[in-house]
Each structure stands twice: as structure tokens, then as C-alpha cells.
Amino acid sequence: MKLKSISLIAGLLLAAPALADIANGPDPYAAGFGFDKPSDATAAWGGWARGDAGTAYAEWDNFVGGMPGTPYSSVYDSSGVSSATFTWNAGTFGATSGNLYSFTGSQIFDIDVTPAVAFNGPLTVALQFETWGTVMDYGNIQLNGIAPTSAGVTYTDPDFSSSMGPVELNHYLAVWNLNAAPTVFHIDMQSIGPHQSFTQAVLDIAAPVPEPGEWAMLLTGLGLMGTIIRRRSVGNNTQV
């Protein structure tokens, strides 16, 4: 796998097959919408496939049955994780649609993902999520207290037809490039007010490996080291 330089373009045109449950809205991975898989050519933050060695992935898209303040561990899909939970605050509830909603105040969300195998930095973390109605407080999204390296809206529909009537639908992507890997990846985010319908979230994590050119340099360096070691060995053997 290789990690590419990040480039965020609003309204990405994707051609990936459906992965998430789309019963409550559009398929965010479909062409014209804003979610990416890391293996997609359009995923400038990616360059790997979910399930690859050195990666972790968790996705939530249905929150029925969860209780406020209690870590919700029912993921739609995951790989490479030992635990993955999504927690929301009192006043926010799982609607019958499977979305999270609040009538009275801001919705506060916490994501916690523990990889099955510890990472060694550096690494890339990508968070993607969908909301209807009230938008997220984009300026205060953090991973372990750190703001994203790059972030932006990847798709928006100001007049999406939902069960609540026309609403604004947004897909958002936040990417972190970290030098060191935490043991637990903790995401903090919240809406700017009530009346947000939170539909789904995806977290992808991967440690980079050298690009092809870097592999060539690495192999050249190893060959040079081997030559030096052999020469030293020969020199030592010829000493009296």
C-alpha cells in the first residue's frame, strides 16, 4: 500500500460499489456522492484496501438500540480492530430510521477505535460522516485532541428529500497525518445545535510503507551497507 498526498475536492465523483446500508438515504459511496474507500483512485488520502495488513477500519450506519452515554459497539463492518465504539450524549437518541437525532440541544459524539495490532507511526487516519439538517461543528473535530491535517465537505445536497421533509445533506472528510500512533484512536465531534440527523460514520487507519521509488532507494542503501560490511570483513581478515 502507498499513501498519496492529500487533495480534497468538493463533490468528488466516485465509482465504487455500495458498502453501507442505504435504506435511510443515498449510498455515499455511489458515483456523485462524497465517501471514498481507501482503495479508490479518487482517495488521495488512501492507497490501500480495507483489510490489508497494517490497516484498521470501522463503520457505523444504524444506531437503533443504543443508549445515550453507553458505548455503542454494533458496527456495520470493521477489520483490524479489537474494539470499536460510538457514544452519544443524553438528549440524543436513535430514531426508528436508525439515525441519531436531538430535538433540544447539540449532539455530542465520541468514536473510539482500538486496533487489533499496535501501529508504529507515522500513519494516516481518515474520518468520513454524513449528516442531515443541522451541520457539525467542523472547526472542533479532533482526533486525540488534534485538529485534522486537512478537511472539507465532499458532497452537499441542500434539498435532500428525507422522512422529515427537505433537509440539507452533507458528506464530510477529515484526514490526519500523524507522526506517532496512539493506542486508542478517539474522535470528538458535535453538532452546532439541535435537529441534526446523524446517519453514518467511517474511520480508516493505515501505516504507510515506502513508495516504489523509496523501495529502490532502500534496497540500494541496503546493498551499499552490505558492500561496506563485506569490505570491512575482508580487511579484518587480512590484518596480521
| Tens of pLDDT, residues 44-71 | 999 999 999 999 999 999 999 999 999 9
* Residue 25 pLDDT grade (very low, low, confident, very high; cuts 50, 70, 90): confident
Q: Quick count: other Cβ atoms within 10 Å of Cβ 230?
A: 10
Question: Mean pLDDT throughout 140-163?
Answer: 95
Q: In this structure, are residues 187 and 111 in contact, taking their beta carbons and an 8 Å threshold? A: yes
* Residue 22 pLDDT grade (very low, low, confident, very high; cuts 50, 70, 90): confident
pLDDT value of position 20: 55
Of residues 125, 134, 109, 114, the one with CA closest to residue 200: 109
Alpha carbons 93 and 104: distance in angstroms, whole number: 11
Those residues whose C-beta lies under 8 Å from the C-beta of residue 237, and which sit 6 or more positions away, are none
Across the chain, the runs of DSSP E, i.e. the strands, are 55-60, 77-79, 81-88, 93-94, 100-101, 108-115, 123-133, 142-143, 150-162, 165-178, 185-190, 196-206
Q: Cell numbers for 23, please give them.
A: 435504506
The torsion of the CA quartet 179, 129, 91, 133, rounded to 10 degrees, works out to 140
| Tens of pLDDT, residues 195-240 | 999 999 999 999 864 444 333 333 344 344 343 334 444 444 443 3
Helices then strands, counting H and E runs in the chain, come out as: 1, 12
Query: Roughly how many angstroms between the first and final C-alpha of the chain, as a whole number?
Result: 50
- Domain ranges, ordered by start, for the chain: 1-209, 211-240
| Tens of pLDDT, residues 93-123 | 999 889 999 999 999 999 999 999 999 889 9
Element (H, E) at 219: helix 212-238
pLDDT value of position 239: 39
